[in-house]
Homo-oligomer: A and B are copies of this chain.
Amino acid sequence: MLGAIEAGGTKFVCAVSNRSLEIQDRVSIPTTTPEETLEKVFSFFDQYELEAMGIGSFGPIDVNKASSTYGYITTTPKTAWKNTDFLGQMKNRYNIPIGWTTDVNAAALGELEKGAAKGKSSCVYLTVGTGIGGGAVVNGEPLEGFGHPEMGHVLVRMHPDDDFEGICPYHKNCLEGLASGPALEKRYGEKAQNLTNKQNVWEIQAYYLAQALMNYTLILSPERIILGGGVMKQQHLFPLIRKEFNSLMKGYVNTPDLDEYIVSPGLGDDAGITGSLILALNELD
């Protein structure tokens, strides 16, 4: 059996599957302290005979195998989890191979194997929710280098009608600081889900997201860009983003048809756990 954890800031989804990735059992555990949460994680997995495991974790995390803190959740704003040796504790408990990457890299992998990027060898997965986080797959592998991508914090140009200062604690008006759910709420004094009919809100939002997508395209040249997370529930954002993307890119690079290029997740909320199961499977190759 394969085990997988999609470790999010709000909840941990744990699942087990066979090698065909058919999920046999799953559980959702609230993210409280490492002690409390991991105890419940252990109780779940202890029931099964696991061959390998995959973890897609919230972060920032250390993915650098040469580093002494490889496998740690590092400088996260969730203070109880700062400097937690998450992978090490899992390895101590289960002496099996464990794949390890970010939650959004795992989601990108899931979408590539079974979702909106099926049959491709590269994609970007961006979640626009409480924060903005991005992961990618290149040549079939989760994208990592010195560390992992943090695509939500790219710098964008201000929209001429927007003078919001931004809420990113590091960069103020980076993409996350301007276009995350809480940024919309702060700027307009209402939850993002209540702004649906305010056309100007979404034109500005599309302008920021399209700039980020242009940069991802110019730098990574992925075959698909998948946009998930709460804010992207506003489906009317997709055509606005495609239009802005076109008017920014001015035809400079070839992309797939934009209706196929900039898309919703094919796996809905299961991208991350699916990708984490694939990480487990890849450990067995």
Contacts and interface: CB of A to CB of B under 8 A. Distances in A.
B155 A221 contact: no
Interface string A129-169: 00000101011010111111111011111100000000000
A215 B214 CA distance: 11
A205 interface: no
A-side interface mostly: loop
A220 B220 contact: yes
Nearest to A158: B157
Contact count band on A:
35 or more
A246 B143 CA distance: 23
The number of times this chain is found in the oligomer is 2
A155 B60 contact: no
A218 interface: yes
B221 A219 contact: no
Contacts of A148: 221
A223 interface: yes
8 contacts: A138-B139, A145-B223, A148-B221, A149-B220, A154-B219, A155-B211, A155-B248, A170-B250
Interface of A: 60, 121-122, 134, 136, 138-139, 141, 143-151, 153-158, 170-171, 211, 214-216, 218-223, 248, 250-256
